[in-house]
């Protein structure tokens, strides 16, 4: 794997030389637009809206629309003037408790690999974070853009998790989100019971991209059949429930959850009910 960035982790007077590697990969299928008659690829042209004429690259500038239809042009010098200092350092500003960070702030993870002379300091920082239950909050510049980031321990590795700045998150205040409602006791107990029955140990490897795999399978079959679409039954779509009675819906869900091949661990409420029956 090729490092996308090299620099240091710095906090106080400590500097740890590291290399940065992607911790995820996005396996999206790429499709080309083609002309139907001869499958000729479609090319894109840069066309001006005013007269529909194609514009060469040397005549294109970058502009910010500050009002509808009103633009201010920025030249390369403007971007340089506004650019933050592109240091090759993950500058940890402070350490905070991991549980204090709302997961909505996290964006993209990267693995941090120590260079040989930084191995001991790397391991020391990892152990300190694991023992204290804290993460380092840092600022880092990658590809001319400054990011907020968290340095977190992940098993034997340190992970740099790029984060959203608070100003990048939208306020959900305009959404019609219910507040405290008058929820029935029976409904709450049944909802908790359903959650308990459907609970299991987190195993990320059992979740796969079913849609991508099915699409790849279809593509392979079309290649093998000379482009013909294979006959297949349409998947059954589950219709949304129109039942307004929540108790009825929960009862049906509990019945369905209880009919699985591997019975789930009984909930605490269920155990208490059994004990009360025995005592009676």
Nearest C-alpha neighbor of 186 from the set 126, 245, 101: 245
C-beta of residue 230 within 8 angstroms of C-beta of residue 222: yes
Q: 215 or 241, which is more confident? A: 215
| Average pLDDT over every residue of 228-239 | 64
Largest CA distance in the chain: 87
| Average pLDDT over every residue of 86-112 | 92
User: What is the reported pLDDT for 86?
Assistant: 61
Domains of the chain: 5-25+83-166 (2.40.290.10), 183-198+245-257+265-275 (no CATH)
Confidence bin at 134 (pLDDT 50/70/90)? very high
Confidence bin at 104 (pLDDT 50/70/90)? very high
Map residue 27 onto helix, strand or coil: coil
Nearest C-alpha neighbor of 19 from the set 34, 5, 40: 5
C-beta of residue 162 within 8 angstroms of C-beta of residue 223: no
Buried b (16+ CB within 10 A) or exposed e, 62-98: eeeeeeeeeeeeeeeeeeeeeeeeeeebbbbeeeeee
Q: 211 or 41, which is more confident? A: 41
Confidence bin at 67 (pLDDT 50/70/90)? confident
| Average pLDDT over every residue of 59-79 | 87
| Average pLDDT over every residue of 210-223 | 81
Strand pairing class (14-22; 70-74): unpaired
Least confident of 23-32, 51-60, 71-80, 194-203: 23-32
H or E element that contains 196? helix 185-197
Q: Chain centroid to CA 8: how far?
A: 26
Q: 208 or 104, which is more confident? A: 104
Q: 220 or 245, which is more confident? A: 220
Please check the confidence at residue 105 and state whether its pLDDT lies above 90.
Answer: yes
C-beta of residue 243 within 8 angstroms of C-beta of residue 249: yes
Above pLDDT 90, what percent of the chain? Answer: 31
Cα 162 to Cα 10, 134, 137, 255, distances in angstroms: 16, 16, 10, 43
Please check the confidence at residue 10 and state whether its pLDDT lies above 90.
Answer: no
Instruction: Give the separation between CA 147 and CA 141, rounded to whole angstroms.
Output: 6
């Amino acid at each position: 794997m090729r490092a996308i960035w090299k620099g240091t982790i710095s906090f106080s007077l400590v500097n740890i030389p590291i290399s940065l590697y992607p911790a995820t990969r996005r396996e999206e299928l790429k499709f080309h637009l083609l002309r139907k008659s001869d499958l000729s690829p479609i090319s894109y042209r840069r066309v001006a809206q005013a007269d529909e004429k194609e514009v060469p690259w040397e005549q294109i500038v970058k502009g910010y629309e500050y009002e509808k239809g009103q633009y201010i042009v920025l030249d390369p010098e403007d971007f340089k003037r506004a650019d933050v200092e592109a240091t090759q350092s993950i500058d940890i500003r402070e350490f905070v408790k991991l549980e204090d960070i709302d997961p909505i702030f996290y964006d993209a993870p990267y693995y941090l690999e120590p260079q040989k002379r930084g191995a001991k300091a790397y391991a020391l920082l990892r152990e300190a974070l694991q023992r204290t239950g804290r993460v380092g909050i840092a600022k880092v510049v990658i590809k001319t853009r400054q990011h907020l980031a968290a340095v977190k321990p992940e098993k034997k590795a340190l992970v740099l998790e790029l984060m959203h700045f608070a100003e990048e998150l939208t306020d959900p205040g305009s959404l019609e989100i219910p507040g405290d409602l008058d929820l029935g006791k029976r409904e709450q107990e049944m909802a908790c019971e359903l959650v308990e029955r459907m609970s299991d140990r987190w195993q990320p490897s059992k979740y796969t991209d079913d849609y991508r795999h099915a699409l790849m399978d279809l593509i392979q079959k079309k290649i093998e059949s000379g482009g013909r679409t294979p006959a297949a039954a349409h998947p059954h779509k589950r219709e949304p429930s129109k039942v307004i009675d929540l108790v009825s819906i929960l009862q049906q869900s509990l019945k369905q959850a209880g009919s699985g091949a591997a019975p789930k661990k009984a909930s605490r409420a269920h155990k208490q009910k059994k004990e009360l029956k025995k005592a009676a």
